[in-house]
Amino acid sequence: MQSSLALSIGLPVALCIIMLGLGLSLRLDDFLRILARPWPVAVGLFCQVAILPALCFVLVYFSDLPPAICVGMMLLAASPGGTSAALYTHLARGDVALSISLTAVSSLVAMVTLPIIANLSLLAFYGEEGAVRVELHQALQIFVIAIVPALVGVYIHTRYPAFAARLDKPVKLLAMLFLAAVVMMALIGQWGLLATWGRTVGAVALAFNLMSLAVGYWVPRMLRIERRQAVALSMSIGFHNAALVIALAMSEYMLNDPEMAIPPAAYGLIAYFVGGLFVLGLNRGAKAAGATA
């Protein structure tokens, strides 16, 4: 299925607006903070870059899903943290600054790791002849539509903080409207596949979401990272940047396979619900611990 003009234009525009909104909430101090306490960020990156793709590969390899769905899940596993992570970190009383910092750093690192994992996944599930490569120029396109707008947002926040504050909510609302429209078009276009594999994709996406939250929380805790920071890492790792994966999968200038966009679309819906339950569980656990202290 060839991407329509609306998808070809709408997806990059939506992603640019989303990343601009992320940048508007960042300051140069957020990046300097990483240098002051690099260990939690390093642990979070290790979970995102190494542990989650390995777990996701095992999950989809034995799921008997179509190759495009498997690759879409792997792209999701390799994607950086999403823009909702900071909000859920705040609700769970975690370290919001750490969440924002990890999201920013993982977005930069993903420009290198995402094409690598994409190529390996395409080779694993399609074979040598069927693989669609993510070439250097495609990686540069991802950089232009994802990182450059975020850097523009950082610049605006640094130079014009009051203006950035006024732009923050309208930009995020506009981004969500764009993304909702293109996701809806993708789901309608792939309705037959969704009707056949919807339950299985949903189950796999749910399982991976639970894995992401658990790995993001318990691996840092086992490495003696304090609770507030572990909460931040869990949210940043559990809320993947589904918009980036959808843009990569559906754009005719990148992978041009809308079927690969179904897993991130399903994951995005599931993550909001499961994340809310996870926040409630963390807050209840913290209250119980405080009552017994």
pLDDT tens per residue across span 119-169? 888 888 887 544 445 555 555 665 666 667 877 888 888 888 888 888 877
Output the pLDDT for position 175: 67
Q: What mean pLDDT is predicted for residues 99-121?
A: 81
Output the pLDDT for position 46: 94
Better-scored residue on pLDDT, 52 or 111: 52
Q: What mean pLDDT is predicted for residues 31-41?
A: 78
> Mean pLDDT across the chain, nearest whole number?
78
- 81: β partners: 240
- At CA 247, angle to CA 244 and CA 248, rounded to 5? 85
Output the pLDDT for position 246: 78
What secondary structure letter does DSSP report for 50? I
For the chain, domain boundaries? 5-284
What secondary structure letter does DSSP report for 63? T
Whether the per-residue pLDDT at 66 is higher than 80: the answer is yes
- At CA 170, angle to CA 24 and CA 92, rounded to 5? 65
Which of 122-126, 139-143, 218-222, 279-283 is the most confident on average?
218-222
Flag the least confident range among 5-9, 37-41, 155-159. 5-9
Output the pLDDT for position 9: 62
Task: Report whether 242 contacts 76 (CB < 8 A).
Answer: yes
> What 3-state DSSP class applies to 66?
coil
Output the pLDDT for position 133: 52
Whether the per-residue pLDDT at 76 is higher than 80: the answer is yes
Residue type, 149: P
Q: What mean pLDDT is predicted for residues 41-48?
A: 92
Whether the per-residue pLDDT at 11 is higher than 90: the answer is no
Output the pLDDT for position 243: 74
Task: Report whether 106 contacts 48 (CB < 8 A).
Answer: yes
Whether the per-residue pLDDT at 211 is higher than 80: the answer is yes
The CATH architecture assigned to 5-284 reads Up-down Bundle (1.20)
Cα–Cα dist 99/77, whole Å: 18
Structural tokens at position 105: 């750093």
Task: Report whether 25 contacts 152 (CB < 8 A).
Answer: no
Better-scored residue on pLDDT, 96 or 43: 43
> What 3-state DSSP class applies to 130?
helix
Instruction: Look at the block and give the residue holding tokens 């980036």.
Output: 244
Measured CA to CA in angstroms, residue 128 lies from 65, 121, 123, 132, 133 at distances of: 19, 11, 6, 9, 10
The answer to pTM > 0.95 is: no
Flag the least confident range among 169-183, 215-229, 264-278. 169-183
Over its C-alpha atoms, the chain yields an Rg (Å, rounded) of 18
Could you list the beta-strand ranges (E) of the chain: none
